[in-house]
């Protein structure tokens, strides 16, 4: 029997996040006719109530279930990838939402412009960057990606809207703009955006490295010195315990000037090359406590105690993992999850407690990153002033579910939160405590989508969007085959 929800144009596909947990099936719709056709088709899809919800998807780098919609419609935005115009006098670029940050770098770097915010991968779209309101190593200076957007075109179920940031997140006239930055795609579909760029003289980063012995030294160094750098991040040895707890390699830097580059070559060249081929599908996770411990030890030891002025490429500094395609396969069939928390500045004890619990449980996080955040942004944006800790953990780690539930409780009690773009397992009843502006966000969201046309598995799991009560279930057919006259049942043995 064909299921109604998954018929119609598009193809049915199984989608999951980058962590490869919780897959679900949806009808995937792509666009090939460019911006105007896409705007018309997106608007038509959003206005049609005969489905189980619509969500836009970019390059699928959200770790959890943010860009999938079980039984509904997923809009593949990656073919909407035109760069419309670069305005050198304003320092802005206007692009389709499906353009990736990698594409922007390839096109803009040779002209002396850099994206204002880049996460740990170039493989994200502008639309996804807005929806998750992503941050980078420069958050303490520049804020989130959303804060760099000067205007955007949003298709909502109640019509197309041109949005600007107004006077900032507290400006009521700009409420929909700020509900969209960090809104996890649930306010509508971003079609186009104009972004403020960073002018650079070279495509390299001048990096200072410091190796710290414990958490206190790490935090002190970051508090004291971060303001001197545009980019700052600490890699933490998540398995170090006791007096080594929180030992880190701190790497901080800024865009290099031309005179700092040794030798010749084009100062603005950017050619990350093709990534190494994807590892084959693994029967089990290659990343376990033993391999991660060995890697962590080696990485920590090989890092210089203190080094100044090393020149690195954009890829090596920002996106080392982009060098290998589909590296998420290394985690085996059960996948992995990324857990990212933020706690206010003064809650360093909560941060220490989290590290203690993780290392105490032998929780092998291959990539653990500590960073200091600057200002907060939209009502559902993740960043807030404070400390953010990120961990990559194999989903099959024994005892992981209750361990993370315990961390959630501690984080919420400290006034912190976890990042929805990474989430795949938060207890829904903690959402309100972690995101106190959720009611305001919902009110804005509901005003442009009163019937709940926008939906995602994340939204269903966490109750972000109130579901419209199964309005779309097809009528039931009654099977006509009667039970046979001889059938009767026995009670189970008593």
Interface ranges with other proteins (CB under 8 A): 1, 3-6, 12, 14, 19, 21-26, 52, 64-65, 69-72, 333-335, 337, 395-396, 400-401, 424-425, 427-428, 457, 460-461, 467, 469-470, 473-474, 476-484, 486-494
Report the distance separating Cα 219 and Cα 243, nearest Å. 15
CB closer to other proteins, 126 vs 462: 462
Report the distance separating Cα 315 and Cα 302, nearest Å. 20
Least separation in angstroms between residue 15's CB and other proteins is: 9
Least separation in angstroms between residue 3's CB and other proteins is: 4
CB closer to other proteins, 304 vs 428: 428
Question: Do residues 150 and 163 lie in contact, with contact meaning Cβ atoms separated by under 8 Å?
Answer: no
Report the distance separating Cα 282 and Cα 92, nearest Å. 43
12 contact partners, CB below 8 Å, separation of at least 6: 6, 25, 26, 27, 28
CB closer to other proteins, 133 vs 423: 423
SS3 333: coil
Least separation in angstroms between residue 76's CB and other proteins is: 16
Question: Do residues 112 and 200 lie in contact, with contact meaning Cβ atoms separated by under 8 Å?
Answer: yes
CB closer to other proteins, 135 vs 460: 460
Report the distance separating Cα 355 and Cα 353, nearest Å. 5
Distances (CA, A) of 280 to 17, 275, 324, 325: 18, 14, 12, 10
249 contact partners, CB below 8 Å, separation of at least 6: 209, 210, 211, 212, 234, 235, 299, 300, 303
Report the distance separating Cα 459 and Cα 186, nearest Å. 8
Least separation in angstroms between residue 54's CB and other proteins is: 13
CB closer to other proteins, 43 vs 73: 73
CB closer to other proteins, 297 vs 409: 409
Cα 267 → chain centroid = 31
CB closer to other proteins, 426 vs 448: 426
Nearest CA to 193 out of 149, 157, 129, 159 is that of 149
Least separation in angstroms between residue 388's CB and other proteins is: 20
Least separation in angstroms between residue 478's CB and other proteins is: 5
Least separation in angstroms between residue 333's CB and other proteins is: 7
CB closer to other proteins, 265 vs 474: 474
Token pair recorded at residue 250: 């701190």
Least separation in angstroms between residue 284's CB and other proteins is: 11
Token pair recorded at residue 397: 């780690």
Least separation in angstroms between residue 485's CB and other proteins is: 10
Compute the 3-state secondary structure of the chain and give helix, strand, coil in percent, each to the nearest 5: 30, 25, 45
CB closer to other proteins, 1 vs 262: 1
């Amino acid at each position: 029997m064909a299921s109604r929800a998954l018929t119609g144009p598009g193809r049915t596909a199984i989608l999951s996040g980058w962590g490869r947990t919780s897959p679900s099936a949806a009808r995937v719709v792509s666009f090939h006719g460019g911006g105007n056709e896409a705007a018309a088709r997106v608007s038509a899809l959003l206005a049609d109530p005969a489905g189980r919800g619509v969500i836009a998807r970019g390059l699928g780098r959200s770790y959890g279930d943010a860009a999938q919609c079980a039984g509904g419609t997923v809009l593949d935005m990656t073919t909407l990838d035109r760069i419309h115009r670069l305005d050198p006098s304003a320092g802005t670029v206007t692009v389709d939402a499906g353009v990736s940050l990698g594409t922007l770098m390839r096109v803009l770097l040779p002209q002396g412009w850099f994206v204002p915010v880049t996460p740990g991968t170039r493989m994200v779209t502008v639309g996804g960057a807005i929806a998750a309101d992503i941050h980078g190593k420069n958050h303490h200076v520049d804020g989130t990606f959303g804060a760099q957007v000067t205007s955007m075109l949003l298709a909502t179920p109640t019509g197309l809207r041109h949005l600007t940031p107004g006077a900032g997140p507290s400006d009521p006239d700009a409420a929909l703009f700020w509900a969209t930055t960090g809104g996890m795609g649930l306010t509508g579909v971003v079609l186009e955006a104009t972004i403020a760029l960073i002018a650079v003289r070279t495509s390299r980063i001048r990096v200072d490295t410091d190796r710290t012995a414990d958490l206190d030294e790490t935090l002190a160094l970051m508090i004291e010195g971060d303001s001197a750098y545009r980019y700052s991040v600490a890699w933490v040895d998540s398995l170090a315990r006791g007096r080594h707890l929180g030992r880190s390699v701190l790497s901080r830097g800024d865009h290099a000037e031309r005179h700092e580059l040794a030798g010749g070559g084009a100062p603005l060249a950017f050619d990350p090359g093709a990534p190494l081929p994807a590892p084959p599908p693994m029967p089990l996770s290659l990343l376990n406590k033993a391999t991660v411990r060995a890697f962590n030890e080696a990485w920590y030891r090989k890092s210089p105690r203190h080094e100044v002025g090393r020149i690195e490429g954009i890829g090596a500094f920002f996106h080392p993992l982009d060098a290998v395609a589909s590296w998420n396969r290394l985690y085996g069939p059960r996948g992995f999850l990324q857990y990212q928390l933020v706690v206010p500045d003064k809650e360093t004890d909560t941060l220490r407690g989290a590290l203690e619990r993780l290392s105490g449980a032998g929780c092998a996080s291959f990539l653990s990153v500590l960073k200091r955040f600057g200002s907060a942004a939209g009502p559902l944006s993740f960043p807030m002033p404070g400390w953010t800790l990120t961990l990559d953990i194999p989903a099959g780690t024994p005892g992981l579910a209750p361990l993370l539930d315990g961390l959630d409780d501690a984080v919420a009690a400290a006034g912190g939160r976890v990042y929805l773009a990474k989430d795949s397992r938060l207890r829904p009843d903690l959402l309100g405590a972690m995101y106190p502006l959720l009611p305001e966000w919902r009110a804005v969201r509901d005003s442009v989508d009163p019937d709940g046309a926008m939906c995602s598995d994340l939204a269903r799991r966490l109750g972000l969007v109130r579901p419209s009560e199964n309005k779309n279930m097809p009528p039931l057919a009654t099977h006509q085959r009667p039970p046979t006259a001889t059938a009767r049942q026995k009670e189970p043995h008593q």
